[in-house]
Amino acid sequence: MVDIVPLSSYPSYIDLLPSIQTCNITNLPENYFLKYYLYHALTWPQLSFVAVVRPKGGYKAGTSKAGAGDLSGNYPKVVGYVLAKMEEEPTDGMQHGHITSLSVMRTHRRLGIAERLMRMSQKAMAESHRANYVSLHVRMSNVAALRLYRDTLGFEVEKVESKYYADGEDAYAMHLNLQSMWMDWKAVEARDKENEKNDDAQDEGDAVGDLGKKDDAKDQEKMVKVKVGRGLGVGELVERNESQPSA
Protein backbone atom coordinates (compact mmCIF):
# COMPACT_ATOMS: atom_id res chain seq x y z
CA MET A 1 0.00 0.00 0.00
CA VAL A 2 1.50 3.26 -1.20
CA ASP A 3 1.04 6.76 0.22
CA ILE A 4 1.72 9.92 -1.76
CA VAL A 5 3.15 12.60 0.51
CA PRO A 6 4.62 16.06 -0.07
CA LEU A 7 8.39 16.34 0.23
CA SER A 8 8.26 19.40 2.44
CA SER A 9 5.09 20.37 4.17
CA TYR A 10 3.84 20.21 7.69
CA PRO A 11 5.38 18.11 9.09
CA SER A 12 8.49 17.68 6.99
CA TYR A 13 9.32 14.61 4.92
CA ILE A 14 12.78 15.82 4.05
CA ASP A 15 14.56 12.85 5.58
CA LEU A 16 13.36 10.87 2.57
CA LEU A 17 15.86 12.64 0.30
CA PRO A 18 18.60 9.98 0.32
CA SER A 19 16.01 7.34 -0.52
CA ILE A 20 14.68 9.51 -3.33
CA GLN A 21 18.17 9.80 -4.72
CA THR A 22 18.53 6.03 -4.58
CA CYS A 23 15.20 5.56 -6.32
CA ASN A 24 16.44 7.84 -9.07
CA ILE A 25 19.82 6.22 -9.61
CA THR A 26 18.29 2.75 -9.53
CA ASN A 27 15.81 3.59 -12.27
CA LEU A 28 17.17 6.34 -14.47
CA PRO A 29 20.40 7.27 -16.25
CA GLU A 30 20.05 10.98 -15.37
CA ASN A 31 21.37 11.38 -11.85
CA TYR A 32 22.09 14.23 -9.48
CA PHE A 33 24.02 15.02 -6.31
CA LEU A 34 21.98 15.06 -3.14
CA LYS A 35 22.59 18.79 -3.02
CA TYR A 36 20.60 19.21 -6.20
CA TYR A 37 17.63 17.52 -4.55
CA LEU A 38 18.15 19.73 -1.50
CA TYR A 39 18.22 22.71 -3.80
CA HIS A 40 14.80 21.77 -5.15
CA ALA A 41 13.39 21.03 -1.72
CA LEU A 42 14.59 24.32 -0.27
CA THR A 43 13.81 26.58 -3.21
CA TRP A 44 10.42 25.22 -4.21
CA PRO A 45 9.38 23.16 -1.19
CA GLN A 46 5.77 22.98 -2.38
CA LEU A 47 6.41 21.28 -5.69
CA SER A 48 7.96 17.87 -5.05
CA PHE A 49 6.17 14.73 -3.90
CA VAL A 50 7.14 11.22 -2.85
CA ALA A 51 5.49 7.80 -3.01
CA VAL A 52 6.27 5.61 -0.01
CA VAL A 53 5.24 2.11 1.02
CA ARG A 54 3.28 2.24 4.22
CA PRO A 55 5.06 -0.11 6.64
CA LYS A 56 3.30 -3.14 8.05
CA GLY A 57 1.25 -1.99 10.99
CA GLY A 58 1.42 1.67 9.92
CA TYR A 59 3.90 4.39 10.72
CA LYS A 60 5.52 4.88 14.10
CA ALA A 61 5.03 8.25 15.71
CA GLY A 62 7.59 10.59 14.21
CA THR A 63 10.54 12.07 16.04
CA SER A 64 9.52 15.69 15.56
CA LYS A 65 6.90 17.32 17.73
CA ALA A 66 4.43 17.80 14.89
CA GLY A 67 1.21 15.91 14.48
CA ALA A 68 -0.43 13.19 12.43
CA GLY A 69 1.60 13.18 9.25
CA ASP A 70 4.93 13.10 11.01
CA LEU A 71 6.92 10.25 9.47
CA SER A 72 10.34 11.51 10.50
CA GLY A 73 12.62 8.68 11.47
CA ASN A 74 10.35 6.09 9.83
CA TYR A 75 12.32 5.82 6.57
CA PRO A 76 9.60 4.02 4.64
CA LYS A 77 10.60 2.54 1.29
CA VAL A 78 10.48 5.16 -1.47
CA VAL A 79 9.01 3.74 -4.69
CA GLY A 80 8.49 6.93 -6.64
CA TYR A 81 8.97 10.67 -6.65
CA VAL A 82 8.48 13.78 -8.67
CA LEU A 83 11.17 16.42 -8.42
CA ALA A 84 9.94 19.73 -9.73
CA LYS A 85 10.96 23.36 -9.94
CA MET A 86 10.08 26.72 -11.39
CA GLU A 87 12.03 27.72 -14.47
CA GLU A 88 14.44 30.35 -13.21
CA GLU A 89 15.06 32.20 -16.43
CA PRO A 90 12.07 31.51 -18.64
CA THR A 91 13.08 32.28 -22.21
CA ASP A 92 9.52 33.23 -23.08
CA GLY A 93 9.22 35.45 -20.01
CA MET A 94 6.36 33.33 -18.71
CA GLN A 95 6.50 31.98 -15.19
CA HIS A 96 6.33 28.23 -15.52
CA GLY A 97 7.09 25.03 -13.76
CA HIS A 98 9.35 22.24 -14.92
CA ILE A 99 9.51 18.57 -14.05
CA THR A 100 13.17 17.86 -13.33
CA SER A 101 12.69 14.14 -12.75
CA LEU A 102 9.86 11.66 -12.27
CA SER A 103 10.25 7.99 -11.58
CA VAL A 104 8.32 5.04 -10.21
CA MET A 105 9.97 1.73 -9.34
CA ARG A 106 9.26 -1.06 -11.77
CA THR A 107 7.81 -3.09 -8.88
CA HIS A 108 5.12 -0.46 -8.32
CA ARG A 109 3.97 0.33 -11.83
CA ARG A 110 0.38 0.72 -12.89
CA LEU A 111 -0.97 1.74 -9.52
CA GLY A 112 -1.54 5.29 -10.73
CA ILE A 113 1.39 6.61 -8.71
CA ALA A 114 3.03 8.69 -11.44
CA GLU A 115 -0.27 10.30 -12.36
CA ARG A 116 -1.00 11.24 -8.77
CA LEU A 117 2.51 12.63 -8.25
CA MET A 118 2.16 14.75 -11.38
CA ARG A 119 -1.25 16.09 -10.46
CA MET A 120 -0.08 17.09 -7.00
CA SER A 121 2.93 18.91 -8.38
CA GLN A 122 0.91 20.67 -11.10
CA LYS A 123 -1.60 21.97 -8.62
CA ALA A 124 1.12 23.27 -6.33
CA MET A 125 2.88 25.02 -9.22
CA ALA A 126 -0.32 26.83 -10.11
CA GLU A 127 -1.23 27.75 -6.55
CA SER A 128 2.11 28.59 -5.01
CA HIS A 129 3.93 30.08 -7.96
CA ARG A 130 1.17 31.06 -10.36
CA ALA A 131 2.82 28.97 -13.04
CA ASN A 132 1.34 29.59 -16.46
CA TYR A 133 2.23 26.11 -17.56
CA VAL A 134 4.40 23.14 -16.70
CA SER A 135 6.99 21.76 -19.08
CA LEU A 136 8.89 18.51 -19.24
CA HIS A 137 11.02 16.36 -21.49
CA VAL A 138 10.37 12.75 -22.30
CA ARG A 139 12.31 10.20 -24.30
CA MET A 140 10.65 9.57 -27.62
CA SER A 141 10.89 5.83 -27.02
CA ASN A 142 9.16 6.01 -23.64
CA VAL A 143 5.68 4.98 -24.70
CA ALA A 144 4.26 4.50 -21.22
CA ALA A 145 5.35 7.97 -20.09
CA LEU A 146 4.05 9.55 -23.28
CA ARG A 147 0.69 7.93 -22.74
CA LEU A 148 0.56 9.31 -19.20
CA TYR A 149 1.52 12.84 -20.14
CA ARG A 150 -0.50 13.17 -23.34
CA ASP A 151 -3.55 10.99 -22.85
CA THR A 152 -4.06 11.02 -19.11
CA LEU A 153 -2.77 14.43 -18.09
CA GLY A 154 -3.41 16.37 -21.31
CA PHE A 155 0.11 17.57 -22.14
CA GLU A 156 0.87 18.72 -25.66
CA VAL A 157 4.04 18.20 -27.62
CA GLU A 158 5.70 21.57 -28.08
CA LYS A 159 8.66 20.43 -30.12
CA VAL A 160 11.22 17.73 -30.60
CA GLU A 161 14.64 18.39 -29.09
CA SER A 162 17.12 16.38 -31.01
CA LYS A 163 19.85 14.50 -29.10
CA TYR A 164 18.54 15.85 -25.81
CA TYR A 165 19.72 12.86 -23.79
CA ALA A 166 23.31 11.95 -23.14
CA ASP A 167 22.95 8.71 -25.08
CA GLY A 168 21.82 10.64 -28.17
CA GLU A 169 18.10 9.98 -27.97
CA ASP A 170 15.67 12.75 -28.94
CA ALA A 171 13.16 14.20 -26.51
CA TYR A 172 9.68 15.55 -26.84
CA ALA A 173 9.38 18.87 -25.07
CA MET A 174 5.85 18.89 -23.71
CA HIS A 175 3.74 21.36 -21.80
CA LEU A 176 0.41 21.79 -20.12
CA ASN A 177 -1.41 25.01 -19.26
CA LEU A 178 -2.10 25.49 -15.55
CA GLN A 179 -3.85 28.82 -15.35
CA SER A 180 -7.21 27.25 -14.57
CA MET A 181 -5.84 26.14 -11.20
CA TRP A 182 -4.55 29.54 -10.11
CA MET A 183 -5.50 30.86 -6.72
CA ASP A 184 -8.08 33.61 -6.81
CA TRP A 185 -5.88 36.47 -5.68
CA LYS A 186 -8.67 38.94 -6.18
CA ALA A 187 -10.65 37.19 -3.52
CA VAL A 188 -7.65 37.18 -1.22
CA GLU A 189 -7.17 40.88 -1.71
CA ALA A 190 -10.82 41.51 -1.09
CA ARG A 191 -10.53 39.69 2.18
CA ASP A 192 -7.39 41.66 3.00
CA LYS A 193 -9.32 44.89 2.49
CA GLU A 194 -12.17 43.62 4.58
CA ASN A 195 -9.78 42.77 7.38
CA GLU A 196 -8.07 46.13 7.18
CA LYS A 197 -11.39 47.89 7.30
CA ASN A 198 -12.45 45.89 10.28
CA ASP A 199 -9.17 46.64 11.99
CA ASP A 200 -9.53 50.36 11.25
CA ALA A 201 -13.09 50.71 12.37
CA GLN A 202 -13.97 47.80 14.47
CA ASP A 203 -17.03 49.44 15.98
CA GLU A 204 -18.56 50.11 12.61
CA GLY A 205 -19.58 46.53 12.27
CA ASP A 206 -19.10 44.48 9.16
CA ALA A 207 -19.55 47.06 6.48
CA VAL A 208 -18.11 45.52 3.39
CA GLY A 209 -18.87 46.45 -0.15
CA ASP A 210 -18.86 44.05 -3.05
CA LEU A 211 -15.21 44.84 -3.58
CA GLY A 212 -13.44 42.70 -6.13
CA LYS A 213 -16.10 40.13 -6.54
CA LYS A 214 -15.37 39.55 -10.18
CA ASP A 215 -12.01 38.57 -11.45
CA ASP A 216 -10.62 40.95 -14.00
CA ALA A 217 -7.88 39.30 -16.00
CA LYS A 218 -6.14 42.55 -16.91
CA ASP A 219 -6.15 43.71 -13.37
CA GLN A 220 -4.76 40.47 -12.27
CA GLU A 221 -1.83 40.68 -14.60
CA LYS A 222 -0.86 43.99 -13.09
CA MET A 223 -0.84 42.50 -9.62
CA VAL A 224 1.26 39.51 -10.53
CA LYS A 225 4.80 40.19 -9.58
CA VAL A 226 6.29 37.02 -8.28
CA LYS A 227 9.89 37.12 -7.30
CA VAL A 228 11.73 34.55 -9.28
CA GLY A 229 15.03 32.83 -8.73
CA ARG A 230 17.48 35.20 -10.26
CA GLY A 231 16.11 38.21 -8.45
CA LEU A 232 16.74 36.50 -5.17
CA GLY A 233 20.20 35.42 -6.16
CA VAL A 234 20.43 31.73 -6.81
CA GLY A 235 24.03 32.40 -7.66
CA GLU A 236 26.40 29.57 -7.16
CA LEU A 237 23.86 27.19 -5.78
CA VAL A 238 22.59 26.10 -9.13
CA GLU A 239 24.12 22.70 -9.37
CA ARG A 240 25.28 21.21 -12.53
CA ASN A 241 23.22 18.19 -13.27
CA GLU A 242 24.60 15.14 -14.84
CA SER A 243 23.69 15.12 -18.53
CA GLN A 244 20.18 16.47 -18.87
CA PRO A 245 17.13 16.77 -16.73
CA SER A 246 14.83 13.90 -17.34
CA ALA A 247 11.20 13.29 -17.15
Partner 1 sequence: MPQPLNPKDQSLFRQVVRNFELKQYKKGIKTADQVLRKNPKHGDTQAMKALIMSNLGQSEEAFALAKEALRNDMKSHITWHVYGLLYRQEKNYEEAIKAYRFALRLEPESGPIQRDLALLQMQMRDYHGYIQSRTAMLQARPGVRQNWTALAIAHHLSGDLAEAEKVLTTFEDTLKGTPPVSDMENSEAILYKNSIIAESGDLERALENLEKVGYRCTDVLAVMEMRADYLLRLDRKPEAEAAYVALLERNPENSIYYNGLIQAKGIAENDHKALKSLYDEWVEKNPRGDAARRIPLDFLEGEDFKQAVDVYLQRMLKKGVPSLFVNIKSLYEEPAKRDVVQALVEGYVSSNSAQANGSAESKENDFLASTYYFLAQHYNYLPSRNLPKAMENVEKAIELSPKSVEYQLTKARTWKHYGNTVKAAEEMENARLLDEKDRYINSKAAKYQLRNNENEKALDNMSKFTRNETVGGAMGDLHEMQCVWYLTEDGEAYLRQKKLALALKRLHAVYNIFDVWQEDQFDFHSFSLRKGMIRAYVDMARWEDRLREHPFYTRMAFSAVKAYLLLHDQPDLAYGPMPTANGAEGLDEDERKKALKKAKKEQQRLEKIEADKREARKAAAANAKSIDGEVKKEDSDPFGNTLVQTKDPLKEAMKFLTPLLDLSSQNIEAQILGFEVYSRRNKHALAVKCLSAAHAIDPSNPTLHLQILRFRKTLDTLSEPLDPKVAEVVTSEFEKLLPKSQKLEEFNEAFLSANKNSAAHVQAALSGRQLLNKDSKPQCEKDLLATLDSPDITVSEATTALELLSLWDSDKTSYVQKASQKWPESSAFKLD
Q: Tell me which residues in 176-195 interact with partner 1 (CB under 8 A).
A: 183, 185, 188-189, 191-192, 195
**What span, in angstroms and rounded, lies between the C-alpha atoms of 149 and 157?**
10
Q: Is 5 in the site for partner 1 (CB under 8 A)?
A: yes
**Minimal distance, residue 107 CB to partner 1, in Å:** 5
Return the residue of 63, 158, 159, 163 that touches partner 1, per CB under 8 A.
63
Other C-beta atoms within 10 Å of 140: how many? 16
Q: Is 109 in the site for partner 1 (CB under 8 A)?
A: yes
**Minimal distance, residue 51 CB to partner 1, in Å:** 8
**Minimal distance, residue 65 CB to partner 1, in Å:** 6
| Pairing relationship of beta strands 78-86 and 49-53 according to DSSP bridges | antiparallel
The window from 153-161, 171-179, 210-218, 232-240 that contacts partner 1 (CB under 8 A) reads: 232-240
Alpha-carbon distances of 242 from 28, 34, 120, rounded to whole Å: 12, 12, 26
Q: Which helix (H) or strand (E) holds 2?
A: strand 2-6
Return the residue of 106, 213, 214, 218 that touches partner 1, per CB under 8 A.
106
> Site map for partner 1, 75-104, x if CB under 8 A?
x-----------------------------
When the beta carbons of 158 and 192 are compared against partner 1, the nearer one is 192
In contact, 47 and 118? CB cutoff 8 Å: no
Residues 6+ apart with CB under 8 A from 173: 135, 136, 137, 157, 158, 159, 160, 161
**What span, in angstroms and rounded, lies between the C-alpha atoms of 134 and 211?**
32
Q: Is 217 in the site for partner 1 (CB under 8 A)?
A: no
Identify residues 114-173 at the interface with partner 1 (CB under 8 A). Answer: 115-116, 120, 123-124, 127-130, 141, 166
Each as own residue / partner, the long-range contacts of residues 158-161 (CB below 8 Å, 24 or more positions apart, any chain) are 161/137
The window from 156-164, 200-208, 210-218, 227-235 that contacts partner 1 (CB under 8 A) reads: 227-235
In contact, 76 and 55? CB cutoff 8 Å: yes
When the beta carbons of 166 and 211 are compared against partner 1, the nearer one is 166
